[in-house]
A and B are shown apart, each in its own frame.
Chain A
Amino acid sequence: MIVKDEEANLARCLNSVRGAVDEIIIVDTGSVDQTKLVAENAGAKVISLAWQDNFSMARNASLELASGDWILFLDADEALEPGSVQVLRRIAEEEHEGYFIKVVNLIGESGSVETSPDIIFRMYRNKPQYRFRGAIHEQIVDVIFEQNNQASFQVAEDVVIKHYGYLNQQIIEKDKKNRNLAIIKKELENDPDNKTLRYHYGIELYRADRFEEAAAELTQTANTVDRGAIYYPKLLRYIALAYYGARNYDLALEAISRGLQFFPNYADLYYYGGLIQLEQRNFAGAYEAFQLALSTPEQPAYYAPFSGSRGFRAYYQMGHLAETFGNEEEALRYYILSMQDNPEFTMALCAIVKILNPRQDPEYTRQAMEKLCDFCTVEATRFIGTVYFSEGAYRLALDYFDRIDSSCLDSYTEVLKAICLIQQKRTLEAIRILDKMPLGHPQYPLARLNKILSFWLLRNRIKVRDLCNDFLSVGLSAETGSVVSMLKETLYKRVSAPPAALGAEGMLLIKDIIIRALDLQEAELAGALLAKLDKATQRENALALSRIFTEYQYWDTALYYAELYVGEHPDSAEGWFQTGDILCHKNQNERACLCYRRALTLDPRQPQYYVKLIKLYQAMRRELLAEAALKYPDMPFFSQLLEEASAE
Chain B
Amino acid sequence: MSLQRISLAIIVRNEGRRLKECLESVKDIVDEIVIVDTGSCDDTVRIAKQYTDKVYSFPWGNDFSAARNFAIEQTTHEWILSLDADERLDAQAGDLRCLINQNRYSAYCLPLYALKEAGDYREHDRFVVLRLFQRKYQFQGAIHEYVFVSDPQEIGIAAAPVICHIEVAAAERHVRRGRNIALLKKAVAEHAADPCLQYYLGVEWLGLGRFKLAIGAFQEALRQFSPGQIIFRSPTVRHLIQCYKNDGQLDAALCLCLEESQQYPEYADLFFDAGVLFELKNEYSIAAKWFQEAVRLGTPPIAFFHTDGTEGYLANYHLGYCAEKIGLHKEAVSYYEAALNNERNYYYPLYPLVLLQLARRSTEDVMRYLSERGYFAIPEVAEKLAELFWSAGLPDIGQRCLASIGMRQGAGWELRTRCQLYGGDITGALQSMEQMRHSSFELPLEMRADEIAALLMQGRFEEARGQLWELWRRPAGKDAFRALFCLYKRLCDNTLLSLANRKAAAVLLNLEGRCLRAQTRDFQQQGGFAAVIRAIREILASEAETLTLLIDDLSEKEQDIKRNLEYTCTALRGLCR
Contacts and interface: CB of A to CB of B under 8 A. Distances in A.
A531 interface: no
Nearest to B556: A617
B573 interface: yes
Contacts of A586: none
Nearest to A637: B548
Interface stretch (A224-232, A279-287, A311-319): A279-287
Contact of A610 (B526, B564, B576): B564
Nearest to A287: B570
A620 interface: yes
Interface string A224-261: 00000000000000000000000000100100110010
Given A285-B575, A604-B359, A620-B554, A594 B516 contact: yes
A288 B573 contact: yes
Contact of A621 (B363, B522, B558, B569): B558
B554 A571 contact: no
Interface string B545-577: 001101100110110011011001111111110
A627 interface: yes
Contacts of B516: 593-594, 597
A602 B394 CA distance: 9
A570 interface: yes
B555 A621 contact: yes
A173 B563 CA distance: 50
Interface string B512-555: 00001111111100110111011001000100100110110011
Contact of B565 (A588, A601, A607): A607
Interface in A582-626: 588, 590-591, 593-595, 597-598, 600-605, 607, 610-611, 613-614, 617-618, 620-621, 624-625
Contacts of B573: 282, 284-285, 288
Nearest to A617: B558
Contacts of A423: none
A631 to B, nearest CB: 8
A563 B360 CA distance: 27
B320 interface: no
B362 interface: yes
B520 to A, nearest CB: 8
B519 A601 contact: yes
A595 B526 contact: yes
A294 to B, nearest CB: 13
Nearest to A613: B561
Q: Which interface class (under 10, 10 to 19, 20 to 34, 35 or more) fits A?
A: 35 or more
Q: In terms of DSSP, what is the predominant structure of the interface of chain B?
A: helix
Contact of A628 (B359, B522, B547, B555): B547
Nearest to B547: A628
B518 A281 contact: no
B393 interface: yes
B358 interface: yes
Nearest to A272: B575
A30 interface: no
Interface residues of B, number: 50
A215 interface: no
A632 B518 CA distance: 34
Contact of B393 (A282, A325, A601): A601
Contacts of B523: 563, 566-567, 579
Contacts of A625: 551
Contacts of A284: 327, 569-573
Contacts of A598: 519-520, 526
A285 B544 contact: no
A292 interface: yes
A372 interface: no
Given A566-B523, A567-B523, A624 B547 contact: yes
Contacts of A600: 564
A624 B575 contact: no
Nearest to A288: B576
B554 A624 contact: yes
Contact of A594 (B359, B526, B570): B526
Contacts of A590: 530-531, 533-534, 537
Interface string B50-87: 00000000000000000000000000000000000000
A378 interface: no
Contacts of B393: 597, 601
A624 B530 contact: no
Contact of A257 (B551, B565, B575): B575
Q: Which of A281, A590, A603, A620 has the most CB of B within 10 A?
A: A590
A630 to B, nearest CB: 12
A250 B555 CA distance: 38
A117 interface: no
Contacts of B392: 601
B541 A285 contact: no
A476 interface: no
A392 interface: no
Contacts of A273: 575-576
6 contacts: A253-B575, A283-B572, A284-B573, A571-B521, A610-B564, A624-B547
Given A285-B572, A289-B575, A628-B551, 19 more contacts: A270-B576, A277-B574, A282-B573, A284-B570, A284-B573, A285-B573, A285-B574, A563-B523, A566-B523, A570-B522, A597-B393, A597-B517, A601-B393, A605-B568, A614-B562, A618-B558, A620-B554, A624-B541, A635-B544
- Return the 10 tightest CB-CB contacts between A and B, nearest first: A570-B521, A610-B565, A617-B558, A591-B530, A590-B530, A284-B570, A590-B533, A285-B574, A273-B575, A590-B534
